[in-house]
Structure formats: structure tokens, C-alpha cells
């Protein structure tokens, strides 16, 4: 039986977190699309309200990408477990990303 160490707990935590973070990435991209649609149908009181909403979501996107990067650094060297973070993050340009991680 393998002893429980700080490193083994960290690896288990890393293994469990990555799918959740990737799922969050997808949800945040969907939210940016919804915000864009809301802007087009003039659902916001003014442009500043839309801009504020987008900036808040972009902040969460950046934090999530940082977590993904952190988890990837802690993850085992297996290439199948590594995920390349999105290059997005500009509030002025909130385009959805396709499955390849590149802008649409």
C-alpha cells in the first residue's frame, strides 16, 4: 500500500480539477456569446452596462485560465493530461473559441 503524501494528494487534486476547469471554460465562452446576443438585441440599459458585464466575465475567464495553467504545471508529464490555455482575454473582443482553442 502506498503511503499518503502531500504530493500524492496534490496529484489527485490536480487530476480531479482539470475537467471541471475545462467545463467552466466552455460555460464562460457560452456566457460571452449570450452577452453578445444581449447587446445586439439591446437588452442592456446602455453600453457601459454591457461593457461592465463583459469585463467581469473576462476577469473570471482569465482566472480560470490561470488555474488551468497552474494545474497543468502540477500535473504528471503525460501529454494527454496537458491542455493549452486559450489565448483570449481581451474584453473589447469577446469572440467565442472553437474546439481547437483558436478564435472563431
Kindly report, residue by residue over 63-83, the tens digit of the pLDDT.
999 999 988 887 655 555 455
- Whether 93 shows a pLDDT value over 60: the answer reads no
Cα separation of 4 and 24, whole Å? 29
User: What are 9-68's pLDDT values in tens digits?
Assistant: 667 666 778 899 999 999 999 999 999 999 999 999 999 999 999 999 999 999 999 999
Amino acid at each position: 500500500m502506498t503511503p499518503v503524501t502531500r504530493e500524492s494528494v496534490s496529484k489527485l487534486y490536480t487530476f480531479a480539477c482539470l475537467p471541471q476547469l475545462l467545463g467552466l471554460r466552455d460555460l464562460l465562452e457560452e456566457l460571452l456569446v449570450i452577452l453578445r446576443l444581449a447587446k445586439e438585441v439591446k437588452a442592456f440599459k446602455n453600453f457601459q452596462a454591457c461593457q461592465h458585464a463583459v469585463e467581469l466575465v473576462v476577469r473570471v475567464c482569465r482566472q480560470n485560465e490561470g488555474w488551468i495553467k497552474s494545474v497543468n504545471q502540477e500535473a504528471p508529464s503525460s501529454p494527454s493530461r496537458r491542455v493549452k490555455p486559450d489565448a483570449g482575454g481581451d474584453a473589447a473582443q469577446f469572440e467565442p473559441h472553437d474546439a481547437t482553442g483558436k478564435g472563431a
